[in-house]
């Protein structure tokens, strides 16, 4: 079974550029989550979707961040314009059914470096 697939695995770009991270969840999973992981703050939830609809985006740091899920098999997280403090590892995860009592399946992340 294919797990959660994220691309790119690594992204290095200059401050001010637009960054787009991509995620393909596990087929049949109806919840999709975007997380950010840093040494200082650990793993933080940014936004999550249920059946392609954004449910809670309270973790999105600011208006520079946006996420979409146009269909059940694809989601994007966009940062525009990017800043050095956005450097982190971004994970996408999906789960089947109610999020709190189901395991979340994570991709291997996108390591983002903003110079």
The answer to whether residue 28 forms part of the interface with other proteins (CB under 8 A) is no
Q: Are 26 and 2 in contact (CB under 8 A)?
A: yes
Taking contact as CB under 8 A, which single stretch among the options 17-25, 68-76, 79-87, 90-98 is the one that binds other proteins?
90-98
Shortest CB 81 distance to other proteins, Å: 27
100 lies in the site for other proteins, by CB under 8 A: yes
Residues whose CB falls within 8 Å of the CB of residue 22, separated by 6 or more in sequence, listed in order: 6, 7, 8, 74, 75, 76
Instruction: Check residue 70 for interaction with other proteins (CB under 8 A).
Output: no
Q: Is 71 in the site for other proteins (CB under 8 A)?
A: no
Of 12 and 15, the one with the shorter C-beta distance to other proteins is: 12
For residue 15, state whether it binds other proteins (rule: CB under 8 A).
Answer: no
Tell me how far apart the alpha carbons of residues 26 and 23 are, in angstroms, rounded to a whole number. 10
| Residue 93 within binding range of other proteins, rule CB under 8 A | yes
For the CB of residue 29, give the shortest distance to other proteins in the complex, in Å: 13
Residues that bind other proteins (CB under 8 A): 4, 42-45, 48, 50, 55-56, 91, 93, 98-101, 103-109
């Amino acid at each position: 079974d294919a797990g959660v697939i994220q691309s790119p695995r690594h992204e290095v770009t200059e401050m001010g550029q637009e960054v787009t991270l991509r995620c393909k969840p596990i087929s049949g999973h109806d919840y999709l989550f975007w997380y950010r992981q840093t040494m200082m703050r650990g793993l933080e939830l940014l936004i999550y979707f249920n059946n392609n609809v954004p449910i809670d985006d309270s973790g999105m740091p600011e208006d520079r961040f946006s996420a979409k899920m146009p269909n059940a098999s694809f989601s994007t997280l966009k940062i525009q314009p990017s800043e050095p403090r956005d450097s982190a590892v971004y994970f996408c995860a999906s789960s089947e059914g109610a999020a709190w009592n189901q395991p979340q399946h994570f991709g291997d992340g996108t390591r983002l470096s903003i110079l």
